Structure 1
Amino acid sequence: MSSQPVKVKGRCLPTLDDLVEMLYTAATSSLGWDEFLQAVVEASDSRSARMLVLNADADQVTSSVQWQIDPGYHQRYVDYYVNTCPWRPELRQKPPGRLYSTYTDFSCPQPDYYRTEFFHDWAGPQDIHHGACGTFYRDGDQTLQLLVQRTRRQGPYLAQDMRLLNGLIPHLQRAAMIQRQIVACEGLNRSVSVAARLAPLPFLLFDEQARVVHLEPAAEALIHQDSRLHLNHDRLTLGVPHQGPRLNHLIRQAVRAAQGHAWATAGGLIHLEARGVRPLNLLVAPLPPEAKAFHLCPYPAHAALFLHDPAQTRQVDQGLLAELHGLTEAEARVAAELVTGASPGQVAELLGVTDHTVRTQLKAVFRKMRVSRQADLVRVVVTGPAYRRSVGLPGFSLSPPD
């Protein structure tokens, strides 16, 4: 892997300069990682190569890209064999920032490797006998590794091979930092766009640490005016103490859902009331996770907090609500009144019916709208197309990804 072209069987192998150029192209466009790995394989006379994004303990693969590894075998590696590899425990202890030869830099001798389950069931059938592997980037929650493999015929990676491969490591580290910055900005912009489409309400966005990372202007104005909401150093706190822990719990739960976990139970509503101050609903919702493309650093997960003022000039289109969810006219009327923050008893008094009638209708509404709590009912209504401004601006449906 020199800086001068080397011809093998009439064709020029990639040089180190070629690989570096391909590396930064992939890092800044999120495309071309497989072409980069192909070039690494060719330049180092290897069989195959992989880049793995793992968790902080480096025992679980969260995403990856590979060249000349059978997809079925790779999935088996991700599901199980990653932790049967005889070199992995020792690799976790080795300093990051370089690659290591499995032949010269690990304590497992080659004969012992051939007796392992990993070789017998996974590596051997693919003619993988030697490797060069290492962690080139690590932060608090993820580990990035490059692994290159050779067949028995190609032989082990020796000192000269490792010097050539390790020439890529500083560039891989810079590429990881560059892509982290690009993906963070791009991910936030996408989350803002998604939240703006989900509901015609003022909103804030929170990151995985429950910090405010985006404050929509209307939400900023509302927070400034409402004594129950306090924003200080990117942290939102409530002037209603017993509701603060619940808000933090809902935000963290929603962020976890945005990462692809437990969508159905994520999010919720907090109803704030205080003497002399009009009610305010806080609706927490996960934002749909991004489609999985390979990134050295994944898109950040965000949760949205929508601020719903029941006194604003918005209304529920009861006819559309009934059509969307198969409600009767009476059931749609009850659901619409509950959006204002009224209790079932207050709805009964307003509509001139008994509490029993309202509660019976409410059970039917819950069943038809597939919710189990009034908070979920309000969330579904105010973030759906039946919730409109008085001038007719439509809302948008909030639903998990397919």
Structure 2
Amino acid sequence: MDDESKLAAVLEPLYASVLEPDQMAQFSATLGAATSSHIGAVMVHDAGHGRGRLDLLFGADPAQAAIYEAEYAGDNLWMQRAHGRMAVGGIMDSDSVATRTELRRTRYYNEYLRLGDIEQSVALCAKADAEGVVVATLCRASGLRPYTERDLALMRQVAPHWANAYAIQRRLSWLEQRVESLESAMEAAPLAMMMLDRTQRVSRMNPQAEHLLGQGDLLRLHQGRPEATRNVAALRQALHEAVAGRSGDGRQLRHAGKVVLKDAAGRNALVASVHPLAGPGRPGACAAVLFLQTVGAANDLGPALRQLFNLTAAESALACALHHSGDLALAATECGIAMTTAQTRIKTVCSKTGERGQASLIRLVAAVAACSR
């Protein structure tokens, strides 16, 4: 199987897992087979690495997941060393953070890894912030040579897709009820959502999106495609890149495209975030999901933001002001702080929430607002 076929085979169950969580096991198994990895897992660790768990384990006795959480998560040398070096959409090879000699001296290896014949692991990072990390890991047996550059290249290609799929799951996790299908998820979601096919046409939308289109002042459908009444080129480019899965310069798309649309007065009014959804092996599937959220009036979201993301009072105030105004300079003025202070503080807020920039943060705070009504 050539490299492109391997990538397609891996991405098909990965993106299917967004709406069918059981497909995550198939994703792990397929990527494991493509890289000669006998064990894989989805691993979650808190920032201090005193606690961790395995949300998914393939190739090993499921009981090992509970044993890991209860006895060995705090001893994971690889996670301890790699914490500050993890990057969303990137990979971390265990051999780059600890030598095999160091590993073999640890309790973690001798009492846990050795039983599974594990001496090398590669982590694909989906989340890395002040709260902790979420990674998909692959493990190689001691009798095999280290992962080849071809193996690592495949993992590098898969990693941003894994991060993107996790990001979509995280957004949908705001739903308070368990949903059984895409249609029911869209009906219940607090954000306006549109599913787009490979021609960028809307294949389905939820009532919130219909309401937004009905207003007609920010967004409309043109030949079945979402089109901004202003910022037309920016939204078109984001949609084109998302359904193609590649950025304008031809590189693989690593993150969701985000555009802040303006109203007639030139104020930031709508945050549009478009996520690639269909891997190359799924030509008949929806190609992207478009989330839309108005920049709303400020509610008393401070307590919710502090509880959810461990923000300070000053950080939550700035996040609320940014949600209200859609502009960091205006938010700084509203909070009575200098622009340089606001820039530093907003970076901390993004780190704590796991967001990647102001547009993404605005949409997250808007989602909290919608769920708090």
When normalised by structure 1's length, the TM-score is 0.43
The structure that has the greater radius of gyration is 1
When normalised by structure 2's length, the TM-score is 0.46
